[in-house]
Structure 1
Amino acid sequence: MVDIMVAAGYETECTQVFLVARRNALDTTLMSLGYEKASIDDVVKMAWEGLETEIGAWIKAFRHTVNVGLSAEHDLCARVFAGSNAVLGRDIFADLARSAMLQMLNFTEAVAMTKRAAEKLFKVLDMYEAIRDGAPVVDAYLSSYENPEKGGGDGIRSISGTEALADLKSELASVRARLGESAAAIFCDLESSIRADAGKQPVPGGAVHPLTRYLMNYLKYVCEYKNTLEQVFREHHRPDTDDSPGHEGESSNPFALQLMEVMELLHGNLEAKSKLYKDLALSSIFLMNNGRYMLQKIRGSPEINAVVGEAWARKRSTDLRQYHKNYQRETWGRVLNVLRDDGGITVKGHVSKPVLKERFKQFNAAMDEIQRTQGAWVVSDEQLQSELRVSIASVIVPAYRSFLGRFAQHFTAGRQTEKYIKLSGEDLENIIEELFEGNTASMTRRRN
């Protein structure tokens, strides 16, 4: 049929009918994969939930077109337009490939034009990867057109086909660049969002801040795209990061530098938020909770750990130990001072009963205050909770038992003993075991 139409002078009509038929066939295939054409205005106005679904369908359709559709259409054109019509067939395929894929790339351009938002990063990267992975397929077709002997042609160079595929290659590169710029900008916007999070309301109980949870989980997911983001940032990183100090040799990796910048900003943000607590001990609990959460997320993800590096993790571990010491000093250092015989209780071998009574009063008041204030404090990480309790008990309980052993007999048994010795060693252990659960009710009952 093709031979007859071309011979009769109907080459244009033949190619137009064939192109329309194959475009319709490709459109039908794309629709069966869930992808439907949408105008740029429609895409830009679309709510993210709906657009996210559309992007998923686009990726599926685009990958199918590149990996299956183009090959099938190429083979069909070669069979239908064979022999003396081979050059015409190659031109038709090139035109078909260009028109089909440019129509899909319009959708990508529209997505890149939508308002930037952190949650869009991953779909933008998915689209970037699809286009990046599809480019070599187009390059291979273009190469075979420019060098017919590689493509098994008849040696005649198809100029229009080459131009069509070259145009498609250029468009793919342009759209990929747009998506790369968008992805890099979205990730860099995290800096602004952290700086903007300057809430003046402290998190109750010194618990993990919502910003910490959100960012660390976000970064964990981001690092699953580590290789792609490194490529994106090499192509689209900001010039002002060129001379930034590196982390463990990461100065040549702009993505790693940007991620470390985000981590440092989060750390600084949390340090600022810790000052919202009037109680220095609670401030230390807050920093411990958030620092531990960050560290656990890093250690639990090989991808983010590879980017952050061991040196940063060790530095945060050192910070955690310092926060722990600060808490111990603020809360329990004062209690230990009450239990020390610094020369005020025993004078020339004799126990000063008024001083001893005052010390027991101070100890009881301190424990009452700790239960009252710290009963609502939270340490959600079980290992950290256990470490804190053990470290407290290992210092305070022996000191209190020793104090009781030395001085309890100086009170008259009965009412006087009950008045000043409110807690046994076991009671003290139980109080410590109930700390950091955020459960004021049980501690209130014990106090009553």
Structure 2
Amino acid sequence: MEKDSPKKSGSFSCRSGKIDCSPDSESMNVDVNPEGPDTENGIKKEEEVCENKDESSSDLDSSCLAKLTQDVDRFISLLLDSKSAPNPPEVPSSVEKLAKLVEEEINESGGSFSKWSQDPGEGPSPLIEAVDRISKLTNALSEFPPDAKYTSSINLTSMVLHRAVSSLEEEFRCFLEDSKACTSDAMELRSTSLRQTSGSFNTNSTANNQDTSSSVPPEPDSARNDNFPGYTPYALFNLNRIATAMISVGYEAECLQAYIIARQNTFEEKLSKLGLEKMSIDDVQKMQWETLEREIPTWIKAFKQCNTVYFPGERKLCESVFSCNPSIADSLFTNLTRGVLIQLLTFADAVTVTKRSTEKLFKFLDMYETFRDLAPCMDGLLSDEFLSDTSDIRCRLGVLAVSIFFDLENSIRSDNVKTPVPGGAIHPLTRYTMNYIKYICDYKDTLEQVFREHQKMEQSDASTGSDNADRETPNSADQTEKPSPFAAQLVKVLDLLTSNLDAKSKLYKDLSLSYIFLMNNGRYIMQKIKGSTEIYHLIADTWCRKRSYDLRQYHKNYQRETWNKVLGCLRDEGLQVNGKVMKPVLKERFKSFNAMFEEIHKTQASWVVSDEQLQSELRVSISAIMIPAYRSFIGRYSQYFSPGRQTEKYIKFGPEDVETYINELFEGNPSSMVKRR
């Protein structure tokens, strides 16, 4: 004989008729029927239907379940109305029947999730509704003084309620800890249970013959990973349903504890994968800067991830799971994020109290930008307490950045090394300062903001009254003409560097070399300024024009100090007396020229001009004044020497030789002059 197909009637089963599901209205001793005689007649008819039902059937008809629960509801109502009555009502047999039926369903679930899980769109769960009634019944019975009359019923319903909630909590925890596994298992079990005559709680939405396992397909792993916290709609629906049920039956603490533990573990795993470790302020302060420097990018990544992905996702999850309890959702989110935020802010706070130094500025600015850029996200997520903490740390990072930049000024001022740089080359202080400024200006916008905030703080501290503040406030026209606080500080640093270099140039005994030193360093500064759009826009054109003028003056002074003396040997004055060339004087002039030119070549070939353009400009300008003058002098007076040895003795260099040797200057390598005719 062919077996009957499973019924999907929205009911739960009585196994082999072991539990008599027929209600016992007489046992409640109800004298008044609020619904009138028709209702009473209807109850009797329903009783007959339940009593005449074939005991071999594996399922309980929904009408029987409805009558059973109605009786329990009426009894609960009667209890609430009889608190002050001398004779409380008797417990109907329907109470025990419902409790045992729920217990049987929990026992037969075998730890599976199909008893509690549902697909989105299904109606209310009969099993959860039954548990809710048992909870209300237990509470109502407990309102009465201890009495043997209700003791057994309270023990029975409390035991069943506890077992039901334990089962709910286990499934709730499983969904939280591993929604992917639970979802697939639950849907498979539900699909299997629908193919068997299992008598599970079914809902009316499954009355059609569709397989519920296909109604909400599992999401691919990539979707879960990209959408934190990665729960499927199926999991979210059941988490919400179970949480609502647990809270409604008085097990809020157990529900919240399970939720917090699961989500805290998730956060710890996420932060661990990002490489963030828990560190105290002492741990951070004991770190070497090289180690801390590597930790800061990890912190920045974790802080951004938390405020842009994890925290918003966690808030949505709390609001989804506890949608019926917004205050619980808010409290849970605050408690969950508190530990993570304390860990993140402790690290940032520890960084702000480390010993400051110039190389730390860039990491401090990175952290400052992180707080600044994420402020709009945090404003809608974090509590006022943590918003205040993040604002305070950001402010301290800004103060640190300004202080470190002031330290650069102090380091330039305190650089009093008395040893000149060999060859008039670029001073290490110049290279360090300009490269530091170049890197700093990569953070131009941030530093502009930091210095403006610092200026406001100083003005606020310095203000002693509203009248003084009004007098000191410039008008809008003055404000537009003034440079920004950061630009003004940058100009101050450059002026200080220039003054320091001027002082260092005086360490050279050779005045010509001091001008080479000033040209080298001045040109390097100007190249760095013009090579950086950020620096150039911050430095006023007036400053750049002045420095360019100074460089031209250094060039002229160098030529005057070095080559004007050599040109003096090529003058006509003093060579003729009464129209006759004085040969001894002429010989002395050539000897002086040769000696001076050899000495200049020997000395200045070892000087350093690293900038090729400046090197070329110097050589061209020297050749432009020396070669024509020397060629003309030789043309006028070489005839006064006898050809041969006398000419070679006094005219050691031809014009081409002079030009060749000039082109060997400023190479940084001493060279011996090869005499050429």
1:205 pairs with 400, 407, 423, which one?
A: 423
**Which residue matches 2:373?**
133
Q: Find the counterpart in structure 1 of residue 565 from structure 2.
A: 334
Partner of 1:280: 511
C-alpha contact (below 8 Å) 1:389/1:433 kept by paired residues? yes
Structure 1: state its 5+ residue gaps: 143-164
Structure 1 residue 17: Cα displacement: 3.2
Residue in structure 2 matched with residue 159 of structure 1 by the alignment:
none
The aligned residue for residue 300 of structure 1 is: 531
- CA deviation after TM superposition for structure 1 residue 10, in Å: 3.1
- The residue number in structure 2 matching 1:89 is 329
In structure 1, how many angstroms separate the alpha carbons of the residues matched to 2:246 and 2:674?
99
Cα 1:316/1:252, change in 2 over 3 Å: closer
Query: Which amino acid in 2 is paired with 1:16?
Result: Q
Secondary structure of the 1:339 match is coil
Distance in 2 separating the partners of 1:409 and 1:347: 18
Partner in structure 2 of residue 121 of structure 1: 361
Q: Structure 1 residues 282, 123: CA separation in 2 closer, same or farther (over 3 Å shift)?
A: same
Q: What secondary structure is seen at the aligned counterpart in 2 of 1:383?
A: helix
Cα displacement (A) at 1:196: 1.6
1:191 aligns with 2:396: no
Kept after mapping to 1: 8 A contact 2:285/2:354: yes
Q: Could you tell me whether the CA contact under 8 Å between 1:66 and 1:137 is conserved in 2?
A: yes
Amino acid of the residue matched to residue 102 of structure 1? Answer: I
**Residue of 354, 371, 390 corresponding to 2:584:** 354
1:31 to 272, 294, 297: 272
> Map of 1:18-167 to 2, 5 A cutoff?
18-82=259-323, 84-141=324-381, 165-167=383-385
Correspondence for 1:235: 453
**Residue 313 of structure 1: aligned partner:** 544
C-alpha separation in 1, matches of 2:489 and 2:567:
45
Q: CA RMSD, aligned part only?
A: 1.9
Residue 239 of structure 1 deviates from its aligned partner by 4.2
Per the TM alignment, residue 252 of structure 1 is displaced from its structure 2 partner at its CA by 5.2
Cα deviation, residue 171, structure 1? 0.8
Letter in 1 for 2:650: Y
Name the CA distance, whole Å, in 1 between partners of 2:540 and 2:258: 60
Cα-to-partner distance string for 1:366-425 (whole Å, 9 max, x where unaligned): 111101211210100000000000000011010000000000110111111111111000
Tell me if 1:7 matches 2:263: no
Shift of 1:301: 0.4
DSSP-derived class of the 2:613 partner: helix
Match of 1:404 in 2: 634
Distance 2:634 2:675 in 1: 20
Looking at structure 1, the residues matched to 360 and 325 of structure 2 have their Cα atoms a distance apart, in angstroms, of 47
Could you say which structure has the greater relative contact order, defined with CA pairs below 8 angstroms and 6 or more residues apart? 1
Secondary structure of the structure 1 residue equivalent to 2:672: helix
Structure 2 residue runs without a partner (length 5+): 1-241, 463-471, 473-477
* Cα displacement string for residues 175-201 of structure 1 (whole angstroms, at most 9, x for unaligned residues): 111111111111110011111211111
Aligned partners of 1:233 and 1:254 also within 8 Å: yes
Q: 1:133-185 CA deviation, whole Å, 9 max, x = no partner?
A: 1111121346xxxxxxxxxxxxxxxxxxxxxx111111111111111111111
Q: Is residue 17 of structure 1 aligned with residue 235 of structure 2?
A: no
Task: Supply the distance in 2 between the matched residues of 1:136 and 1:20 (Cα, whole angstroms).
Answer: 29
Q: In the alignment, does 2:652 pair up with 1:422?
A: yes
1:90 deviates by 2.1
* Contact 1:112 1:178 survives alignment (8 Å): yes
Q: Could you say which residue in structure 1 is the equivalent of 2:485?
A: 254
1:178 partner letter: R
CA distance in 1, matches of 2:453, 2:313: 33
- 2:328 counterpart SS class: helix
Is contact 2:368–2:397 with CA below 8 Å preserved after alignment?
yes
Tell me if structure 2 keeps the 8 A contact 1:208–1:293: yes
Shift of 1:15: 2.4
Where does residue 446 of structure 1 map in the other structure? Answer: 674
DSSP-derived class of the 1:116 partner: coil
Paired letter, 1:432:
I
Aligned residues: 418
Cα deviation, residue 99, structure 1 = 3.2
Letter in 1 for 2:559: Q
Give, in angstroms, the shift of residue 85 of structure 1. Answer: 1.6
User: Following the alignment from structure 1 to structure 2, what is the Cα–Cα distance between the partners of residues 310 and 110?
Assistant: 42
- Matching of residue 170 in structure 1 with residue 398 in structure 2: no
CA–CA separation in structure 2 for the residues paired with 1:445 and 1:333: 21
Tell me, in whole angstroms, the C-alpha distance in 1 between the residues paired with 2:309 and 2:675. 73
- Tell me which protein shows more helix as a share of its residues: 1
When residues 407 and 309 of structure 1 are mapped into structure 2, their CA distance, relative to the original with a 3 A threshold, is same
- In structure 2, do the counterparts of structure 1 residues 322 and 417 end up closer, same or farther at CA, with 3 Å as the change threshold? same
What is the alpha-carbon distance in structure 1 between the residues aligned to residue 479 and residue 490 of structure 2? 13
Larger mean Cα displacement after TM superposition, 260-269 or 132-141:
132-141
Letter matched to residue 348 of structure 2: T
Q: Equivalent residue of 1:417, what SS?
A: helix
Give the C-alpha shift of residue 21 in structure 1: 2.4
Q: TM-score, normalised by structure 2?
A: 0.60
Instruction: Quote how far apart the aligned CAs of 1:321 are.
Output: 0.3
Q: Verify the 8 A CA contact 2:601 2:673 in the aligned structure 1.
A: no
Question: Quick check: 1:223–1:303 contact (8 Å CA) kept in 2?
Answer: yes
Paired amino acid for 2:431: R
TM-superposed CA distance for 1:13, in Å, is 3.6
The question of whether the paired residues in 1 share the 8 Å contact of 2:296 and 2:363 is answered with yes
TM-score (norm 1): 0.90
Distance change (3 Å), C-alpha of 1:252 and 1:140: farther
- Distance in 2 (alpha carbons) for counterparts of 1:103 and 1:447: 77
Q: 1 CA distance for matches of 2:336 and 2:404?
A: 34
Displacement of 1:50 in angstroms is 0.7
Distance of 2:414 and 2:251 partners within structure 1: 67
Which residue number in structure 2 is paired with residue 158 of structure 1?
Answer: none
2:273 and 2:494 map into 1 onto residues whose CA distance is 44
Distance 2:564 2:270 in 1: 73
Q: Which residue of 2 aligns with 1:181?
A: 399
Between the aligned partners of 2:502 and 2:480, the Cα distance in structure 1 is 27
Which residue in 2 is equivalent to 1:364?
A: 594
1:250 touches 1:257 (CA, 8 Å); kept in 2?
A: no
Looking at structure 2, the residues matched to 272 and 23 of structure 1 have their Cα atoms a distance apart, in angstroms, of 62
